[in-house]
Amino acid sequence: MKTPSLATSFLLAFAVLAPVSMIQSETADPVPVPALVNGYQPTWWKEAVVYQVYPRSFKDSNGDGIGDIPGITSKLDYLQHLGVNVIWLSPHYDSPNADNGYDIRDYRKVMAEFGTMADFDTMLAGIKQRHMRLIIDLVVNHTSDEHRWFVESRKSKDNPYRDFYFWRDGKPGPAGPDGKPTLLPPNNDPSFFSGSAWQFDPTTSQYYLHYFAVKQPDLNWDNAKVREEVYSLMRFWLDKGVDGFRMDVIPLISKNPAFPDLTPDQLHNYGNAYANGPHMHEYLQEMNRNVMAKYDVMTVGEALGISLEQTPLIVGDDRHELNMIFNFDAIRSNRVGRDDFKPTDLPTLKAIYTRHAEKLDAHSWDTVFLSNHDNPRIVSTFGDDSPEFRVPSAKLLETMLLTLRGTPFLYQGDELGMTNYPFKAIGDFDDIEVKNAYKANVVTGKIPEDVFIANLRHTSRDNSRTPMQWDSSANGGFTTALKPWLAENPNYTQINAAAEVADPDSVYNYTSKLIAVRRTHQAFVYGDYKDLDPDNKAIFAYTRTLGTERYLVVLNFSKIPVAYALPGALKAESLILSNLATSEQNTSTLHLAGWDARIYKVQ
């Protein structure tokens, strides 16, 4: 059976782009359904390469030290030239910034620091003019405590908005100094940001639930009015022309209203305990039915607490919930527990990708990513950020991300090989999670300060939030202010976009070539995946096969040169792309340099 070309699929996607809100209208002619490709239903979001923009750190246009929406608009040509076709914009809504925008005060207003709604509309128009799409963060497990719903909710127990959130009586505790019983939280649920997940509010002498910061009370999705408010704000942005949502901690939206104490085992991984509540699937299906099914959208959920085995229940074609989710097995493969860092074990990482290929069939689409705003820099975490190997290892990691199964997600600055920040003291950090953990662990004497800071150099979210390095001028060209909101990595004079765009051998231009390869060869989108040498501790060799097309990817995850005999008498025939200067092809033994990455066409 002849399948449509990747280019044809993209043309079909763009042909139905404008206006987005009319794509599924009742009066429109039905859009032709493309033929299956290797059992997959072709769609634009499967063929996309997504680039995450963290607006606070991307580009400052007005000199206040904070990235903004006009700054993003000014760099759209940079992103178009890179080759990405979907931009994921981290929260841009009005917020008091207790958690850098993930505490939303008004879902229909742009954060003043970022600009105006007119600025947003101009950015969106610029994205569409360049044949790219935009997805935005949907943060609806919780709001800010300054949102008008919560402001009303805390006023009285009979307020109409009281049940928009979870309010509970405390438990009687031991007697206080006055002889009266103290009041303890309703249960032992911990917050992800340290301490109890319950906050006492003296106005009504009850506790409210906050799985994250104290200023991020959790919404009560069991209240149908809450769900309809969420669907309404989703329609607001989709009707503007936004192309979908990245859904923040979406598996946590359904809670057990009895809130029993967590068991000791559950306390070891309370994220899993909080996820997959009794009505999660019901609410996601309702959201799909009432909103997403009426638009041509892309949805991806931050799947905290959802196992690989549970994934098809959310993303399966027949489930009508989400298109795909972020599974954190790979990105967390070098962590011990939640926070401690360990060197990457390549067989463990490879086994994760194999399990994904085995568990997720043609009806359950996957994502592939190793970085985002909540994780440290990819080259410092999975590569080698030394001066000798930073560039080849950054290129190798991009090679892997853009040739594995699933929609690839790149994070801003990774296309430059940006590295972790050299943190020295607690004052260098901005992240509320770090500050709370410092109080809970260092101030109390549980962890020595030097050990705490040393670990954060590997794990802190602030590593990825340092400003983009645009050129070698002051503050990396991010801002004209004397001081940006978060310090620029001091290596910006060597690592910056201006130098890399001009250098044909840069990480940026290599990534652009990779994206073109992925777009040209359908095998890297819809092809089968096979790990050829799963137990090898240094070499990751795999094939992507679609019909008679077969491609070999070989990655040396070490700085040690290797003469690598391909398994199964396989022959590396035609070289498609390499991150280092090589012409080696038509051979069964590859002489790989440190952090060498190659793509071959094979029989």
Distance (Å, whole) CA 549 – CA 524? 10
Q: Which of left, alpha, beta for 97 (phi over 0: left; psi -120 to 50: alpha)?
A: left
H/E stretch holding 176 reads none
Which of 376, 275, 290, 377 is CA-nearest to residue 327? 275
**CB of 40 within 8 A of CB of 362?**
yes
Q: What is the 3-state secondary structure (H, E, C) of 307-372?
A: CCCCCHHHHCCCCCCCCEEECCCCCCCCEECCCEECCCCHHHHHHHHHHHHHHCCCCCCCEECCCC
Q: Indicate the residue type of 294.
A: K
Distance (Å, whole) CA 548 – CA 215? 56
Sign of CA dihedral 352, 353, 358, 360: positive
Which of 33, 26, 40, 38 is CA-nearest to residue 12? 33
- 552 phi and psi angles, rounded to 5 deg: -110, 130
Strand 86-89 to strand 133-138: parallel, antiparallel, or no bridges (unpaired)?
parallel
H/E stretch holding 9 reads helix 6-15
Which residues make beta-bridge pairs with 325? 301
Q: Is residue 253 classed as helix, strand or coil in its secondary structure?
A: coil
Number of H helices, E strands in the chain: 19, 24
Q: Is residue 205 classed as helix, strand or coil in its secondary structure?
A: coil
Angle at CA of residue 141, ends 139 and 147, nearest 5°: 70
Q: Where are the beta strands (DSSP E) in 90-155?
A: 93-94, 106-110, 133-138
**CB of 145 within 8 A of CB of 217?**
yes
In the structure encoding, which two tokens stand for residue 14, read together? Answer: 């763009």
Q: DSSP secondary structure string, 274-289?
A: HSS-TTHHHHHHHHHH
- Residues in Cβ contact with 209 at an 8 Å cutoff, skipping those fewer than 6 apart: 165, 166, 168, 189, 197, 198, 217, 218, 255, 259
Instruction: List the catalytic residues.
Output: 248, 302
Distances (CA, A) of 390 to 153, 278, 300, 506, 558: 51, 46, 30, 11, 12
Sheet (strand 574-578) strand order: 528-531, 539-546, 549-556, 597-601, 574-578
Q: Is residue 499 classed as helix, strand or coil in its secondary structure?
A: helix
**HSE, side-chain direction, 13 A CA sphere, residue 459:** 21
Tally Cβ neighbours within 10 Å of residue 169. Answer: 11
